[in-house]
Amino acid sequence: MNAVLVPGQGSQTPGMLLPWVGLPGAQDDLRTWSDAAGLDLVQLGSVAGAEEIRDTAIAQPLLTATALLSSRALTSPAGVVCGHSVGELGALALAGVLTEVEAVSLAAERGRLMAKAAAERPTGMVATLGGDDVAAREVATELGLEVATVNVTGQTVYGGPVEALEAFATAAPGGARVRRLETAGAFHTSAMAAAVPGFASLVADLRPREASVPVIANADGSVLTDGRALLDRLVSQLTGPVRFDLCLQAIAMLGPEQVVELAPAGTLTALVKRALPGVPVLALKDPA
């Protein structure tokens, strides 16, 4: 049984679509998805520079399209799927909860709504590496920061006002190394509250199907197949933390023969290697 992972924002790289555009049917799919997203995904995924594709409104549908195209190269079907943040949309398409067009379209609207919310006030994100997690969290809370993502033990992302991020980095709490992330705002925190009503309305209009394979949810690592429950979690996830550490625990309990990360692969593969040593991993970087 393979566990298939779909990467999230921050993993995008210039030219990431190029290895996949020659796959059978890829050009037709990309035209359809581009129409759904209101973007030229081929241009953005082939020749656009790093700064352009860092834009939240572009990165999210582009990542979704890239992951879905790369899934064509899987040599065996997924036994369970899990996405990281916006990667959950690709995971839901792989599981049949959403169509691919619905996933790309929803990713585009999600990106636009989150970008708009981020523009309302200056916020950002920092990652802590190593150190004392408890001590770092206490300082972050005192400064008004929120936990945005827990990837693995010793790697937590916080989000909040820019001035609080600067104070947190200066404090280097608990001996942690603090790295500022290049994001438009504090995703998965209350800073995204303005995006919730619009996104909730979009999700409510969809008619999800039962998942054909189990989906591991970011919120708490639950293994679910109920399509509506999975979609509803997407809404709460805008302002709630990604608990990828719990997702990895769920994967470990399922005992997959291999963990495969779809393109643009590498970020989640590294987390699996750290949290689940001994589990075979594959970062899908090209069709070969």
**Dist CA 105 CA 260 (whole Å):** 25
Average pLDDT over residues 189-213: 98
Active-site residue identified among 85, 190, 222, 236: 85
Q: Tell me which of 113 and 154 has the higher pLDDT.
A: 113
Please give the pLDDT value at position 80. Answer: 98
- Please state, rounded to an integer, the average pLDDT across all residues of the chain: 96
pLDDT band, residue 287 (cuts 50/70/90)? very high
Please give the pLDDT value at position 148. Answer: 98
Cα dist from 22 to 19, 37, 69, 169, 239, whole Å: 7, 21, 10, 44, 38
pLDDT band, residue 174 (cuts 50/70/90)? confident
0.75 surpassed by pTM: yes
**Strand 258-261 to 281-283 pairing:** parallel
Residue with tokens 């619009």: 198
**Dist CA 89 CA 8 (whole Å):** 10
Considering only 80-89, 94-103, 177-186, 210-219, which range has the smallest mean pLDDT? 177-186
Q: What is the pLDDT of residues 233-279, one digit of tens each?
A: 999 999 999 999 999 999 999 999 999 999 999 999 999 999 999 99
Q: What is the pLDDT of residues 58-94, one digit of tens each?
A: 999 999 999 999 999 998 889 999 999 999 999 999 9
Decide if 84 is catalytic. Answer: no
Q: In what order do the strands lie in the sheet with 123-129?
A: 177-181, 123-129, 155-161, 146-152, 242-243
Please give the pLDDT value at position 117. Answer: 97
Please give the pLDDT value at position 69. Answer: 97
**Dist CA 104 CA 260 (whole Å):** 21
Active-site residue identified among 188, 190, 212, 222: 188
Average pLDDT over residues 94-102: 98
Residue 234: closest CA among 204, 254, 194: 204
Residues in contact with 180: Cβ distance below 8 Å, sequence separation at least 6, in sequence order? 124, 125, 126, 165, 169
Please give the pLDDT value at position 173. Answer: 72
Please give the pLDDT value at position 222. Answer: 97
Query: Do the Cβ atoms of 20 and 29 come closer than 8 Å?
Result: no
Q: Is the model's pLDDT at 175 over the cut of 90?
A: no
Decide if 85 is catalytic. Answer: yes
